[in-house]
């Protein structure tokens, strides 16, 4: 047989958890045709993978790339980690319902894109009015990796109820929410996500979520939740478990913090009690580097009082005592310890890379007042590093043994939205290397490489019901990563340059997506072999 591609002499770890072995892989027409000690035959191209890991392409179940793809579809940050499939539409934010302009307005009001971006997207991007039309837009644009999508509970609730309403939906609103959920699932969504720490999903009580989850269950979809962290981590996990128990839906706990190891035990216990549940975690995170204009937008988005007043309302609030108290009331943005807020990107040596607490002490003023004064003045050339180089909930330390050993834990990088044309507006410095960070942490923690590969391939494929992905076996899609594990690395918080928001991982030699090379000797190709993956059918070929 003549193959399109043969990978020779690699250490093959197939994603099943079985021991790896040295061998070859034969690929033809986008599929894995032969896996064995030797694959004989001619090929259009042969890759010598000697000394490298050959594995299924990794799957990232928690990202926010649904608008990015329409403007930057190369996905270098994922390919350079070995990721070939992503799931977007998380934390309650997604691309339906109704018009694309409705989605842009929602994203803006939740602080996720800037006003200038709204105008640009409305002007330049293709338009859609439902899930299927959006999928067609991505298909026409093309993508270097495979993409699946969730519905966003927050987006749907906000759109139907006319904004972020702290009440139950009316009977008619409930019917429209159900109609939209069913429409999205029938058009190919993998499930629904919630952002229960955010407006508007936080206004939904458990019973409302159970009713939505029951609909998702009918379509064998998944309920993926940014849980109510304000309840406490364990209580929030228990709510997610209850939703799974009461509705029968599969549950994914999103970006679960490793600082509460007992929460991971709750998930394993629930799984053993027949709740089909798993979790993803961010292996390591810095605080968010948030430029002043975007921080003002986030203040608007997270305050129930300021939400409907817009950017100008926040600016007005900064000038009154009552408004300043309202802004500082939300500890989710600023936290209590202002030593964890670092001022950067100022070109002012008196402020640069210094904590708010330190600067305030030098000036003899309160730390909260300094933050508010910096937000209120006319100098926009300033970035607030909220949380600093090591974020408390995803710290720079190895996970506890019960997390390392938990077979239901996968990576969810949660790379932030950001702006394609303005990367310094809002960025983070560790999540772009989530997979090498996870690999190195878990290898050092004594987890075998076969188990680590399983956690980032067949585990998410099974949990999200992604067909023909996650295993390097004959008949599956030829999504394959070839990695020099000895060089698979991303700088830690002590090494990273905080002025470089576009850093990418090292060590990935080749990535094959649907049988075509997307990363060649570490260089991204503009081959766009990815597919839009729909839950209700095989795939749409791009």
pLDDT digit string (tens) for 152-179?
999 999 999 998 899 999 999 999 999 9
323 lies in the same domain as 275: no
Which residues does residue 36 pair with via DSSP β-bridges, in sequence order? 24
**pLDDT above 90: residue 86:** yes
- DSSP classification of residue 365: S
Asked, for residue 90, whether it belongs to a domain, the answer is yes
* Helical packing angle, 321-328 and 310-317, nearest 10°: 110
Residues 141 and 248 in one domain: yes
Q: Is residue 514 part of a domain?
A: no
Half-sphere CA count of 396, side-chain side, radius 13 A: 16
CA 30/CA 477 separation, integer angstroms = 6
Per-residue model confidence (pLDDT) at position 331: 63
Measure the N-to-C terminal CA separation of the chain; round to a whole number of Å: 26
358 with 398, same domain: the answer is no
Residues 118 and 179 in one domain: yes
* Residue 45 included in any domain: no
Q: Lowest-confidence range among 15-24, 169-178, 337-346?
A: 337-346
At 48-71, the pLDDT tens digits run 999 999 999 999 999 999 999 999
Q: Check whether residue 298 and residue 156 sit in a common domain.
A: no
Domain match, 268 and 318 both: no
Instruction: Give me the pLDDT at residue 541, please.
Output: 44
Q: Does residue 187 carry a pLDDT above 70? A: yes
Q: Is residue 306 pLDDT above 70, yes or no?
A: yes
Residues 163 and 270 in one domain: yes
* Domain range enclosing 161: 58-284+394-467
Same domain assignment for residues 346 and 374: yes
Reply yes or no on whether the pLDDT at 330 is more than 80.
no
Convert the pLDDT of each residue in 441-460 to its tens digit: 999 999 999 999 999 999 99
- Does a structural domain hold residue 11? no
Q: How is residue 359 written in tokens?
A: 């600067």
Tokens 């570490």 belong to: 522
The span from the CA of 78 to the CA of 176, in Å, is 36
Where does residue 398 rank: exposed (0-12), middle (13-18), buried (19+ CB within 10 A)?
Answer: middle
Domain C-terminal end among 331, 354, 384: 384
Is residue 35 one of the residues assigned to a domain?
A: no
**Same domain, residue pair 306 and 223:** no
Res. 542: pLDDT tops 70? no
Q: Are residues 356 and 432 in the same domain?
A: no
pLDDT tens-digit map of 466-513: 999 999 999 999 999 999 999 999 999 999 999 999 999 999 999 999
Examine residue 155 and state whether it is found in any structural domain, yes or no.
Answer: yes
Q: Is the pLDDT of residue 540 over 50?
A: no
**Domains in the chain, number:** 2
Q: Considering only CA atoms, which of 436, 437, 429, 435 is closest in space to residue 497?
A: 429
Residue 434 domain-assigned (yes or no): yes
∠ Cα 523 526 527 (to 5°):
110
pLDDT at 304: 72
> What integer best gives the mean pLDDT of the chain?
95
Given a cut of 70, is residue 22 above it in pLDDT?
yes
Last residue of a domain, one of 384, 405, 420: 384
User: Quick check: 334 pLDDT over 90?
Assistant: no
- Tell me if 81 sits within 8 A of 434, measured CB to CB: yes
Higher pLDDT among residues 299 and 128, named by residue: 128
What is the pLDDT at residue 379? 85
Q: 3-class SS at 535?
A: coil
What does the pLDDT average to over 94-120? 94
Same domain, 250 and 300: no
What is the Cα 471 distance to its own chain's centre?
22
Q: Are residues 373 and 404 in the same domain?
A: no
**Which residue would you say has higher pLDDT here, 262 or 378?**
262
Please give the angle made by the CA atoms of 349, 355 and 361, to the nearest 5 degrees: 95
Q: Which of 416, 435, 467 is the last residue of a domain?
A: 467
Burial class of residue 475 in the structure, from the number of CB atoms within 10 Å of its CB (0-12 exposed, 13-18 middle, 19+ buried): exposed
Q: What is the CATH number of the domain that holds 450?
A: 3.20.20.140
Residue 72 domain flag: yes
Cα–Cα distance measured from residue 292 to residue 296, given in angstroms and rounded to the nearest whole number: 6
**In this model, does residue 90 exceed pLDDT 90?**
yes
């Amino acid at each position: 047989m003549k193959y399109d591609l043969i990978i020779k002499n690699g250490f093959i770890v197939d994603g099943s958890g079985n021991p790896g072995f040295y061998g070859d892989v034969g690929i033809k027409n986008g599929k894995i045709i032969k896996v064995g000690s030797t694959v004989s035959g001619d090929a259009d191209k042969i890759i010598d993978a000697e000394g490298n890991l050959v594995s299924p392409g990794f799957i990232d179940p928690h990202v926010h790339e649904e608008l990015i793809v329409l403007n930057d579809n190369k996905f270098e940050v994922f390919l350079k980690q070995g990721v070939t499939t992503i799931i977007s539409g998380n934390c309650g934010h997604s691309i339906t319902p109704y018009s694309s302009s409705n989605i842009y307005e929602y994203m803006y009001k939740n602080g996720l894109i800037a006003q200038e971006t709204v105008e640009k997207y409305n002007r330049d991007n293709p338009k859609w009015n439902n899930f299927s039309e959006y999928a067609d837009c991505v298909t026409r644009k093309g993508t270097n990796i495979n993409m699946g999508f969730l519905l966003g509970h927050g987006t749907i609730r906000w759109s139907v109820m006319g904004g972020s309403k702290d009440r139950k939906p009316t009977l008619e609103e409930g019917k429209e929410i159900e109609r939209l959920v069913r429409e999205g699932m029938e058009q190919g969504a993998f499930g629904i996500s919630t952002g229960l720490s955010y407006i508007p999903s936080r206004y939904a009580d458990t019973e409302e979520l159970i009713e939505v989850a029951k609909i998702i269950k009918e379509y064998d979809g998944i309920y993926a939740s940014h849980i109510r962290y304000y309840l406490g981590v364990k209580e929030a996990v228990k709510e997610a478990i209850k939703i799974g128990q009461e509705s029968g839906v599969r549950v994914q706990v999103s970006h679960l913090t490793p600082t509460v190891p007992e929460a991971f035990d709750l998930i394993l216990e629930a799984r053993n009690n027949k709740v089909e549940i798993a979790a993803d975690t961010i292996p390591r995170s810095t605080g968010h580097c948030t430029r002043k204009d975007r921080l003002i937008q986030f203040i608007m988005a997270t305050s129930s009082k300021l939400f409907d007043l817009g950017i100008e309302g926040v600016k007005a609030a900064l000038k009154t005592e009552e408004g300043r108290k309202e802004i500082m009331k939300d500890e989710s943005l600023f936290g209590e310890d202002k030593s964890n807020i670092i001022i950067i990107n100022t070109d002012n040596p008196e402020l640069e890379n210094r904590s708010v607490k330190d600067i305030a002490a030098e000036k003899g003023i309160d730390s909260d007042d300094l933050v508010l004064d910096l937000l209120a003045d006319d100098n926009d050339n300033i970035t607030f590093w909220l949380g600093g180089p090591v974020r408390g909930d995803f710290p720079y330390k190895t996970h506890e043994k019960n997390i390392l050993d938990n077979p239901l834990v996968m990576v969810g990088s949660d790379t932030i939205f950001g702006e394609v044309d303005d990367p310094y507006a809002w960025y983070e410095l560790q999540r772009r290397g989530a997979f090498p960070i996870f690999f190195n942490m878990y290898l050092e923690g004594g987890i075998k490489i076969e188990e680590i590969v399983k956690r980032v391939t067949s585990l998410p494929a099974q949990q999200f019901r992604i067909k023909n992905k996650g295993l390097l076996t004959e008949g599956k899609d030829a999504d394959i990563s070839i990695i020099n594990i000895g060089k698979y690395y991303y700088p830690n918080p002590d090494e990273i340059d905080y002025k470089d928001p576009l850093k990418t991982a090292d060590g990935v030699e080749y990535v094959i997506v649907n049988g075509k090379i997307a990363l060649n000797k570490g260089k991204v190709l503009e081959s766009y072999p990815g597919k839009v993956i729909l839950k209700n059918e095989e795939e749409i070929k791009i």
